[in-house]
Amino acid sequence: MPRRKLVAVYLGLVGVPLLGLLGVLRVGRRLAAPISVGGSWNLQADFRTLTEAPCRELLSSINQPFLSISQSGANLVFTLNNSQKTTVVGTLNRTTLAMGGAEPLSSPSRTCADPQAIYLAATVSTQGKNRVLTGTLGISGCASCAPVSFHAVRQASGGGR
Amino acid sequence: MLSLVTLILQIAVVIAASRAVALLFQKMQQPKVIGEMFAGIMLGPSLLGWVAPHFSTLLFPPSSLVYLNALSQVGVVIYMFLVGVALDPKALKEHGHTAVLTSHVSIIAPFVLGACLALLLYPRLSDDGVGFTGFALFMGAAMSITAFPVLARILTDRDMLGTKLGALAIACAAVDDATGWCILAYIVVLVRAHQAASTPLWLTLGGSVAFLLIMLYGVRPLLRGLGKSCREQGYLSENKLALIVMVALASAVITERLGIHLLFGSFLAGVIMPKGKKFVRYLLDKFEATTVVVLLPLFFAFTGLRTSIRLIHGSRMWVFCLAIILVAIVGKLGGSMIAARFAGGGWRESAGLGILMNTRGLMELVILNIGLDIGVISPALFSMMVLMALVTTFMTTPLLEWVYPIRMIREEAAALRDVEIAHEPALGRAAP
């Protein structure tokens, strides 16, 4: 191929797309992604307020960091730091996140032993450099257990997810 | 002690599954590496964890995965070193302007399309922990990669090394790989610069340039003696082999400490090694078998354990996944094909090149794991991209047979019998 034609083809097939790439990067800066909540969270709550002993023990047996969140946009997967590493799905809606369903289970006695019954609703905020969750935590189907208020701080990490 | 028993059991299961599925894929005229990749996915939550969750937890308890990860990372470090060893920059020069144009277009076309796709995916599958620029550049880089070793394997299997198309594809893939890794290094620096507790940007940039210069102009001349020694004696002493391993490991550690990634260091160490055929073949023979048979399947299994097809739920997520696969194919296959056509190739030859360049294989998985590690892509997007890597690699052989049948290759090879094979790709015999 003659050199002049090669240069013209090169500019057309490489140069023009490169300019397009710059345009895409410029346009994309205006896009907003969901707030980052991925990572491990240390949780503070007083589980002694739960009246049912099995429910109290279920939540107290979870170690710190209490939960880790794997985030894909607004879709969240929560992993509790218990021996089974229970995973529960959740969602993020702007600054409000929810984990687990609040639908009551048929047998209350079974409920308190089932980590899948744990649900959470919280609001995300930023305090200084830390991301903070504030909300309530409860057990689905446990009629005598009032949801417990909690405060959680995200651990510093490299990746964030 | 329990962890050690678990780890040994894991290795045995992974190797057995990997060999079994690889054999199955070989019967389907596919390269073994694709079977190994599938085996890895099958051992993860997408299949084993779904069908037999208790057995899966018993075999791969979360606490044991740190060991599996460490072993698999060592495997990839050695593998990237071997990829660097096999990479010969002279390959590009031998094919002149056609290779330059084709390889550059085969990078930029999928790169731009990947960045465009990022406009759709960033608000839906990412979060504000990563900036759009880093996300879009990563999507572009992940779309533009070609698996040089898998390509070499396919060309060897189809006896295409002596053909013009095969030689051109190898040259372009080599350039694509080297360019792709440079771009990825920049993205890693860019993303890590925004993270707390990362190496300061000035240290990363200054240190990287200084390290590159030291490796190219300080270490490379010192290593020439190794190539000469291998050429004259036909082998390398254990001390010399140990020295080579230490150079690769030291280079990996330095790039990791500089804030890039340890794989860049091992790759760079491979690139600066002497390029004599005897030396390259000797190194590959020494390291390839253990890496390919034992360590890489662990990497595939670890990747599989991080891949959950169930994260792609709902029609919207599957549309995103299909869009990713479509963009990857159109960008890479289409871009390479059009470039080859503009460079003077026939339609059939150009299409063949596009199909070959669309092979992503293991290199894509390596890049995706880096992306997930540094947090630039989310787990769901990671799973979609792994599917894309599997689909684009799987489709290569049947598409190539359709466009460029073996009968035609044999005719061309017979016509070119007297032409010297310009470049014998390493990693072509046993490597994935």
Query: Any alpha helices (H) in chain A, and if so which ranges?
Result: 3-10, 16-28, 53-60, 108-111
Separation in Å, CA of A68 to nearest CA in chain B: 13
Token pair listed for A141: 């189907």
Separation in Å, CA of A26 to nearest CA in chain B: 9
Q: In terms of CA atoms, which chain B residue is nearest residue A3?
A: B97
* Interchain pair B112, A159: CB under 8 A: no
Task: Measure CB to CB from residue A27 to each of B112, B119, B196 and give the nearest one.
Answer: B119
- Do B430 and B289 touch, CB atoms closer than 8 A? yes
* Interchain pair B123, A18: CB under 8 A: no
What is the per-residue pLDDT across B287-330, written as a single tens digit (0 to 9) for each? Answer: 888 888 888 899 999 999 989 888 898 899 999 999 999 999 99
Separation in Å, CA of B292 to nearest CA in chain A: 29
Question: Which residues, listed in sequence order, are joined to residue A120 by a DSSP beta bridge?
Answer: A99, A137
Average confidence score pLDDT of chain A = 84
Q: What is the pLDDT of residue B96?
A: 66
* Interchain pair A9, B128: CB under 8 A: no
What is the per-residue pLDDT across B388-419, written as a single tens digit (0 to 9) for each? Answer: 999 999 999 899 889 988 788 777 767 766 55
* Interchain pair B112, A25: CB under 8 A: no
- Do A78 and A62 touch, CB atoms closer than 8 A? no
Examine the pLDDT at A105 and tell me if it is beyond 60: no
Q: Within 10 Å of residue B180's Cβ, how many Cβ atoms?
A: 24
Backbone angles phi, psi at B104, to 5 degrees: -65, -40
Token pair listed for B95: 């094919």
Q: Minimal CA–CA distance to B179: which of B252, B268, B107, B98? A: B107
Whether B276 contacts chain A with CB within 8 A: no
Whether B188 contacts chain A with CB within 8 A: no
- Our separate counts of H helices and E strands in chain B read 22, 0
Give the position of tokens 């218990």.
A82
Q: What is the pLDDT of residue B24?
A: 94
Whether B26 contacts chain A with CB within 8 A: no
Q: What is the pLDDT of residue A2?
A: 76
Q: Which residues in chain A touch residue B380, judged by CB atoms under 8 angstroms apart?
A: 72-73, 75
Instruction: Determine how β-strand A39-45 pairs with β-strand A67-72.
Output: antiparallel
How many CB pairs below 8 A link A and B? 133
Give the pTM: 0.84
- Do B125 and B380 touch, CB atoms closer than 8 A? yes
* Interchain pair A20, B112: CB under 8 A: yes
Q: What is the pLDDT of residue A92?
A: 94
* Interchain pair B375, A161: CB under 8 A: yes
Residue B146, helix vs strand vs coil: coil
Residue A45, helix vs strand vs coil: strand
How many Å apart are CA B279 and CA B25, to the nearest integer? 32
Q: What is the pLDDT of residue A101?
A: 65
Q: Which residues in chain B touch residue A77, judged by CB atoms under 8 angstroms apart?
A: 311, 379
- Choose, out of A21, A87, A125, the residue to mutate when testing the contact with B (most B CBs < 10 Å): A21
Q: What is the ipTM of this complex?
A: 0.87
∠ CA A15-A10-B161, rounded to 5°: 125
What is the per-residue pLDDT across A1-12, written as a single tens digit (0 to 9) for each? Answer: 677 888 888 899
* Interchain pair A32, B128: CB under 8 A: yes
What is the per-residue pLDDT across B82-91, written as a single tens digit (0 to 9) for each? Answer: 888 887 767 6
How many Å apart are CA B127 and CA B138, to the nearest integer? 14
Q: What is the pLDDT along chain B (432 residues), one digit of tens a residue?
A: 557 888 999 999 999 999 999 999 989 888 888 899 899 999 998 899 888 988 988 899 888 888 888 998 898 899 889 888 887 767 666 666 777 788 899 999 999 999 999 999 999 999 998 999 999 999 999 999 888 777 877 877 777 766 778 878 878 887 787 788 788 888 888 877 766 556 677 777 888 889 999 999 999 999 998 988 888 888 889 999 999 999 999 999 998 888 777 888 998 999 899 988 889 989 988 988 888 888 889 999 999 998 988 889 889 999 999 999 999 999 999 999 998 888 888 888 899 999 999 998 888 888 999 999 888 999 999 999 999 999 999 999 899 889 988 788 777 767 766 554 444 444 544 444
- Do B35 and B153 touch, CB atoms closer than 8 A? no
* Interchain pair A72, B373: CB under 8 A: no
Whether A22 contacts chain B with CB within 8 A: no
Whether B379 contacts chain A with CB within 8 A: yes
Whether B343 contacts chain A with CB within 8 A: yes
How many Å apart are CA B27 and CA B5, to the nearest integer? 33
Which residues lie below 8 Å from residue B218, measured CB to CB, with a gap of 6+?
Answer: none
* Interchain pair B374, A159: CB under 8 A: yes
Whether B136 contacts chain A with CB within 8 A: yes
Token pair listed for B261: 């990634």
Task: Measure CB to CB from residue B133 to each of A17, A25, A129 and give the nearest one.
Answer: A25
Q: What is the pLDDT of residue B133?
A: 93
CA dihedral B65, B68, B74, B79 (to 10 degrees): -110
How many Å apart are CA B253 and CA A152, to the nearest integer? 35
Q: What is the pLDDT of residue B125?
A: 95
- Choose, out of A72, A76, A85, the residue to mutate when testing the contact with B (most B CBs < 10 Å): A72
What is the per-residue pLDDT across A46-99, written as a single tens digit (0 to 9) for each? Answer: 888 777 778 888 888 888 899 999 999 999 999 999 887 888 899 999 899 999
Separation in Å, CA of B424 to nearest CA in chain A: 26
Task: Measure CB to CB from residue A160 to each of B111, B338, B375 and give the nearest one.
Answer: B375
How many Å apart are CA B315 and CA B322, to the nearest integer? 10
Task: Measure CB to CB from residue B115 to each of A6, A21, A160 and give the nearest one.
Answer: A21
Separation in Å, CA of A71 to nearest CA in chain B: 6
